[in-house]
Structure 1
Amino acid sequence: MVSLLHGVMQDYYEQNVFKDTVSNAPLQLSFVGTFCLIFSNCMGPVAQILNSIWGTRVVLLLGTLFVAVGVIIAGFSTQIWHLYLTQGVCFGIGVSFMYVTIMAVAPQYFDRKRGFALGLIASGSGIGGLIMPFIMTPINRSLGGGWTYRVVGFVCLACDLLACILVKDRIPRPRMRKRLRDIIKFDVFKNGSFRIWCLGATMQMVGYFIPFFFVPSHATYLGLSDSEGSSLVAVSCAMNFVGRIVCGFLADKLGNVNTNIIYLVIAGLSNFLIWTFAYTYGTLMAFMAVFGFTCGSYFTLVSPITAAILGMEKFPTGLSMVLLSNCVAVFGPNISSAIESAVNSEPFFSYKMFAGVAYILAASVMLWLKFNINHKISAKV
């Protein structure tokens, strides 16, 4: 939802609202997604502390409130910094509360086929991505971006309230107030495999959001309509839905790390071999389909890989530390935008190369992790 909301709305605001009034609007607008990602990663420990005090359902309700209010109020923004506070900070906090809480509950219900189960859970965002672009683009055209934000906000409110009703702990946990030092424990970094995993997770997230953020703008640059740009995002999200489920299934068969490597290599090559030569609607569609299928393995595998390396006792701390380390990755779109603005190359070429290199480097790090855990090439890791 983060990539969808930012990708579609960045293109709209870039072309219709801030095009003639703000210098270097694409770079400034890219920081909206950056703030959102920073807070969605950094607020994980806070979510765990609140969970220890009030329980799962209250934290989910707080997350729902932050998500809905952040998106709805974003509809009243008249300056880019307004979007920083609403879609960036407020929405990001809500996403963190929802995601961290649900991902801590899900493993409680599965001892076998955990990868497939988490793949199904992680795939849910693809359904929203398939439907929402076809709602957002017509509203942008007829009523403007403000009403698009408000409609999306109320849709989020309805869906998240349903999650609040359905999600609960398998075994109710005792209310024991945790402190920040109980959650952020740097001793997990004594584990060499965990250090490598944090580096690999960060590298794959550096490139993840770039196509989602900039392909709609690339489509507009090529002369395609905004509805065609939305279709590209929708197809990518649909393939993301399928890809995350298949990723979980393969992880149970081949191993979590092995599956992650396969997905990362294909995602990286899709940037180099398809997006680089995409000058038509059909080629862009092919890229978004392949990239969408393979780019989201992190979201399916972050929990099982962390749990496999550290064990379930240290899993909550490990998950928080992985998310915190990923704060570095949120600057990927900003760095690529700065490179794009600084070099005299074909438009969008820097984005294509940056995302591709990030994924191939991530695959290399995960290959390092594989051999650090088990030296056998054929080992199920």
Structure 2
Amino acid sequence: MTRSDLDIALEPTGIVGSTTTSQLGEENEEGSSERDLNTTRPAQGTTVVEALSHYPDGGFDAWLMVACSSSLLAVAVGGIYSWGVMQDALTGLGSTGTIAYIGSVQATFTGLLAIPCARLVASFGPRPVALAGTVLCFLGPLTASFVTTSFVGLFILEGVVWGVGAALIFPAAATLPSSYFLKRRNLATGITYGGGGVGGAGFSLLSSVLLNKLGIPWALRITAFLYLALTLPPALVLKSRFPLKPFRSGPVVEWSLFKNPTFLLLFFGAAIALFPLFVPPFFLPLFASSLGLSSLTGSLLLAGFNLASAAGRIICGLGADRLLGSTNAQILCLFASAITTFIIWPLATSLPPLAIFAVVNGFAAGGFFSLMPGVVSGLFGSSRLSSVFGAVLTSFFPGYFLGGPIAGFILSASGGSEKGVAAFRPAIFYSGALTVVSCGLILAARITASKELRKRI
């Protein structure tokens, strides 16, 4: 897998091969600064000063790319995280587990097609790839608005068509700021990926208002045109700083990694983590409705989850290197997610505790995603970041596709949302239990890498 292939993969993270100012001057416990710098310098043998000068690290063009990328991710990521509002409105169309497949398949394509789409970006540039994604993200919900009584129609148009569009947009936007920044890369990428959380919050509230006032068809149509407004102008502006590379095919996974115990623990830990991480954003509005709260309140809770997720992506991405190390911080994020899921969510029979759960759990979920590239780099070294992260990325697919629907089927088997909070608890405990298992596996990976628990990894 090429360097361009690596740059895809970083699910709204905040760190894409990042090198902080402190890393330029000294060796840290996660790897040498010289080694990390070699992943970003323009040519072999380039000095530190030359490598720094290779990046604008500011200026109009650089910050324009950040703004454009953030706007694109507001749709490509925010649209997925706001799906819970529409799912609540579509409950009459089928079981909760069945409807959840639409949102799940949206997220699935973003992970499943990440590496192929990244190769398209490397070969053709970010602009045409993002424009293709823009067209699909517009046509998906627009055409879906005419088949709102058909699950199959919604699955194909809102799930598959929109999902492929988001998968095209994501690699075109997510890594572009990294080519413009070095010293300020964490800040730039944090702002970029924060757009996904802000978009999720905004679309959650907007969808609630549109659904209540205009109904499902017009809510989808208006949302489609808003998607177009937020993606078409930025896509036209995107500009790569590096020469395009010939399109190539070939294996993307280094199979020898599966003989490494540390990798196996991380691989399965990440795979299991993806099952529960989408349960709260998909089910918060429905849970709020079961408490007798208004649909607007449910949308506000989802908006709070998304804003907290944006904050978690930025803060965890910036703070892990200075405080705990990426792996240690990610373990804490999973622990916090498990605690809130087991202790707060099942006992949240009123708005205040449910709001606390949404904010804390959203922050932890955002932190999990932002820290994964640093976890891979810390456990395996920056020189293997491409191959290892490509393999870890493949582990996300089952959880993206099945995590939400499984929770939905458990809810339906427990009597459905009309039975109140008690019916949700088995699905909540399923989510919490898998989070604990994931946390334990990644902790085991951390220990196999180093038994010095105070060491920043």
Q: Give the structure-1-normalised TM-score.
A: 0.89
Aligned equivalents of 2:380, 2:159: Cα separation in 1: 32
Q: 1:363 maps to what in 2?
A: 439
SS of equivalent residue, structure 1 residue 296: helix
1:82 CA displacement: 1.0
1:329 CA displacement: 0.7
Where in structure 2 are there 5+ consecutive unaligned residues? 1-77
Is residue 13 from structure 1 mapped to residue 84 from structure 2 by the alignment? no
Aligned equivalents of 1:323, 1:71: Cα separation in 2: 27
Q: Of the candidates 217, 227, 231, which is equivalent to residue 160 of structure 1? A: 231
Is residue 377 from structure 1 mapped to residue 453 from structure 2 by the alignment? yes
Q: Please list the CA deviations of residues 222-259 of structure 1 after superposition, one character each: whole Å capped at 9, or x if unmatched.
A: 11111111111111111112122111122121211111
What code does the residue aligned with 1:98 have? I
Could you say if the C-alpha distance between residues 225 and 174 of structure 1 is closer, same or farther in structure 2, counting changes exceeding 3 Å?
A: closer
Is residue 31 from structure 1 mapped to residue 107 from structure 2 by the alignment? no
The answer on whether the counterparts of 1:216 and 1:232 sit within 8 Å (CA) in structure 2 is yes
Q: Of the candidates 194, 200, 203, which is equivalent to residue 123 of structure 1? A: 194
What code does the residue aligned with 1:48 have? A
Q: 2:221 maps to what in 1?
A: 150
Is residue 297 from structure 1 mapped to residue 374 from structure 2 by the alignment? no
Q: 1:99 maps to what in 2?
A: 170
Could you say if the C-alpha distance between residues 166 and 365 of structure 1 is closer, same or farther in structure 2, counting changes exceeding 3 Å?
A: farther
The answer on whether the counterparts of 1:219 and 1:229 sit within 8 Å (CA) in structure 2 is yes
1:5 CA displacement: 3.2
Q: Give the structure-2-normalised TM-score.
A: 0.75
Q: 2:413 maps to what in 1?
A: 342
Q: 1:275 maps to what in 2?
A: 345
Larger radius of gyration: 2
The answer on whether the counterparts of 2:101 and 2:405 sit within 8 Å (CA) in structure 1 is yes
Aligned equivalents of 1:110, 1:367: Cα separation in 2: 32
1:29 CA displacement: 0.4
1:53 CA displacement: 3.3
Aligned equivalents of 1:190, 1:364: Cα separation in 2: 20
The answer on whether the counterparts of 1:72 and 1:150 sit within 8 Å (CA) in structure 2 is yes
Q: 2:332 maps to what in 1?
A: 262
The answer on whether the counterparts of 1:197 and 1:366 sit within 8 Å (CA) in structure 2 is yes
Could you say if the C-alpha distance between residues 162 and 178 of structure 1 is closer, same or farther in structure 2, counting changes exceeding 3 Å?
A: same
Aligned equivalents of 1:168, 1:317: Cα separation in 2: 26
Could you say if the C-alpha distance between residues 112 and 377 of structure 1 is closer, same or farther in structure 2, counting changes exceeding 3 Å?
A: farther
Q: 2:206 maps to what in 1?
A: 135
Could you say if the C-alpha distance between residues 100 and 307 of structure 1 is closer, same or farther in structure 2, counting changes exceeding 3 Å?
A: farther
Is residue 49 from structure 1 mapped to residue 49 from structure 2 by the alignment? no
Q: 2:73 maps to what in 1?
A: none
Aligned equivalents of 1:190, 1:60: Cα separation in 2: 37
What code does the residue aligned with 2:275 have? V
The answer on whether the counterparts of 1:115 and 1:300 sit within 8 Å (CA) in structure 2 is no
1:217 CA displacement: 0.8
Aligned equivalents of 1:115, 1:360: Cα separation in 2: 29
Q: Of the candidates 246, 255, 275, which is equivalent to residue 176 of structure 1? A: 246
Q: Of the candidates 293, 296, 302, which is equivalent to residue 224 of structure 1? A: 293
Aligned equivalents of 1:298, 1:308: Cα separation in 2: 15
Q: Of the candidates 240, 252, 269, which is equivalent to residue 321 of structure 2? A: 252
1:110 CA displacement: 5.0
Where in structure 1 are there 5+ consecutive unaligned residues? none
1:369 CA displacement: 1.9
Aligned equivalents of 1:50, 1:362: Cα separation in 2: 32
Q: 1:76 maps to what in 2?
A: 146
Aligned equivalents of 1:323, 1:86: Cα separation in 2: 25
SS of equivalent residue, structure 1 residue 158: helix
1:220 CA displacement: 0.9
Aligned equivalents of 1:13, 1:211: Cα separation in 2: 17
1:55 CA displacement: 2.0
SS of equivalent residue, structure 2 residue 82: helix
Q: Of the candidates 301, 323, 326, which is equivalent to residue 393 of structure 2? A: 323
Q: Of the candidates 122, 126, 131, which is equivalent to residue 61 of structure 1? A: 131
The answer on whether the counterparts of 2:281 and 2:302 sit within 8 Å (CA) in structure 1 is yes
1:343 CA displacement: 4.5
Q: Please list the CA deviations of residues 328-373 of structure 1 after superposition, one character each: whole Å capped at 9, or x if unmatched.
A: 1121122222223334792111221112112222211221121222
1:128 CA displacement: 1.3
Could you say if the C-alpha distance between residues 229 and 196 of structure 1 is closer, same or farther in structure 2, counting changes exceeding 3 Å?
A: same
Q: Indicate the RMSD between aligned Cα atoms, in angstroms.
A: 2.4
1:310 CA displacement: 5.3
The answer on whether the counterparts of 2:379 and 2:446 sit within 8 Å (CA) in structure 1 is no
Could you say if the C-alpha distance between residues 313 and 249 of structure 1 is closer, same or farther in structure 2, counting changes exceeding 3 Å?
A: closer
SS of equivalent residue, structure 1 residue 347: helix
Aligned equivalents of 1:376, 1:167: Cα separation in 2: 45
1:268 CA displacement: 1.0
Aligned equivalents of 1:360, 1:269: Cα separation in 2: 9
What code does the residue aligned with 2:313 have? R
